[in-house]
Amino acid sequence: MPTDQLSLTFAALADPTRRSIVTRLAEGEATVNELAEPFSVSLPAISRHLKVLERAGLIVRSRDAQWRPSRLQADPIDEAVEWMQSRKQTWETRMDRLDAHLRRKGEQDE
């Protein structure tokens, strides 16, 4: 299992419940109870998801407060967004070339 940050980030976000949790945390920190509210899953299940997110470095959980609120860590997510944007750029350039190629061919065929 690769342990580079991008792989960890994408693996952690490959689950719809964890994506919802992360989206919720983007609005501000929240406790396990608050995070569990919108879902029909148990608190322990939510805790397991939080552990995955924590291991991937996407969230930090306060050590001292009783309810250990979770907070989003932006850096790994920024890195992943950047990576996605560079993929997009690569494909955009390629599609420009495909477009030009189809135009050239079209003229030759006429």
Partner 1 sequence: MSDSTPVAAADQQVLITRIFDAPRERVFRAWTDPDEVAAWFGPEHVDTPRERIGIDLRVGGRYELTMVRRGGGGEFAIGYEILELVEPELIVLRSDPMPEVGMHEPTVVRVEFHDHGAKTRMTLSDAPQPPAARGHAEAGWSAAFEKLATLVESTP
Interface ranges with partner 1 (CB under 8 A): 2, 4, 6-7, 10-11, 13-16, 19-20, 22-23, 26-27, 72, 74, 77-78, 80-81, 83-84, 87-88, 90-95, 97-103, 106
Among 18, 27, 14, 9, residue whose Cα is nearest residue 45: 18
Q: At its nearest, how many Å lie between partner 1 and the CB of residue 20?
A: 8
CB-based burial label for 85 (10 Å; 0-12, 13-18, 19+): exposed
Report DSSP letters for 77-93, one per residue.
HHHHHHHHHHHHHHHHH
Q: At its nearest, how many Å lie between partner 1 and the CB of residue 43?
A: 23
Nearer to partner 1, 24 or 47 (CB): 24
Token pair listed for 90:
């690569």
Nearer to partner 1, 30 or 66 (CB): 30
Nearer to partner 1, 63 or 97 (CB): 97
Q: At its nearest, how many Å lie between partner 1 and the CB of residue 71?
A: 11
Token pair listed for 89:
């750029």
Instruction: Return phi, psi of residue 2, to 5°.
Output: -65, 145
Nearer to partner 1, 63 or 106 (CB): 106
